[in-house]
Amino acid sequence: MDTLAHPKIARILPQCFFALMAVLVVCELFVWKMALLVLKPMLIPTLMLWYWLTSTKRNAIYLLALLFALASNVFLLSDETKFLVYGIVSFMVYRILTIVLVVRLVQSILWLPFIVATLPFLFIFSCLINLTLTPEMPSFYPTIINGLLIAALAGIALSNYVLNDNKANSWLAISTLLFIVLVFLFMIQHYYLANMAFKPMSAILFAFAHYTFYRFVIESEKRKRSDDY
């Protein structure tokens, strides 16, 4: 399918995405809760439409993953504990789907470099969880699983970037690092030290992490298409 079937909309969507990110940063900074309730759930659908119009393959796994990212985003708008857990579980499903997608899109995964690259992130996340959570908390076990998943993704991204520094792997490495920082800010904000500066920072990281992962998917699809010829 022609990726330029809707060229005008495809050109406008990047501007809409980053303009929406800028507005969300301002809303987080001034704690405009009603604006956040309306605008925050719009970011992921904008990215989904952007991907739909610019991809030649329209990967169903990626679109499904974005739906769970949207669900997580909506649940985390609430301060209630049960919705916090729902948000973490939704993000866990999103992370599982993105790992499946990455495994399918990267050229190869070598186990020894993957394990070596994963271990430092496992250590860091175990220290962070030990600092911020206790087993009695409802979000304890979902957070542990999320930590394992993001560490695994970091291992894949870092090992592939070191062994094969192409454009797709560079985008994946950047996206993964942004998501790691985002998870750190989220856990510190919710479980250790609430700081108003964290939320605007998280809004920026969230948008750029998803944008860079989108670029990874697009570049991987381009590479696979060129390999087919």
Q: What is the mean pLDDT of residues 83-103?
A: 96
pLDDT at 1: 41
pLDDT at 164: 87
Residue 53 lies in a domain: no
Q: What is the mean pLDDT of residues 96-118?
A: 93
77, two tokens:
């708008």
Identify whether the C-beta of residue 195 lies closer than 8 Å to the C-beta of residue 189. yes
Q: What is the mean pLDDT of residues 152-181?
A: 94
Identify the band that residue 193 occupies on the pLDDT scale cut at 50, 70 and 90: confident
Residue 10 lies in a domain: no
Number of folded domains in the chain?
A: 1
Residue 200 lies in a domain: yes
| CA gap 166, 160 in Å, rounded | 9
pLDDT at 108: 80
Q: How far is CA 122 from the centre of its chain?
A: 18
Residue by residue, DSSP assigns 119-182 as HHHHHHHHHHHHHH--TTSTTHHHHHHHHHHHHHHHHHHHHHHHH---HHHHHHHHHHHHHHHH
pTM of the model: 0.92
Identify the band that residue 61 occupies on the pLDDT scale cut at 50, 70 and 90: very high
Domain ranges, residue 175: 59-228
| CA gap 95, 194 in Å, rounded | 25
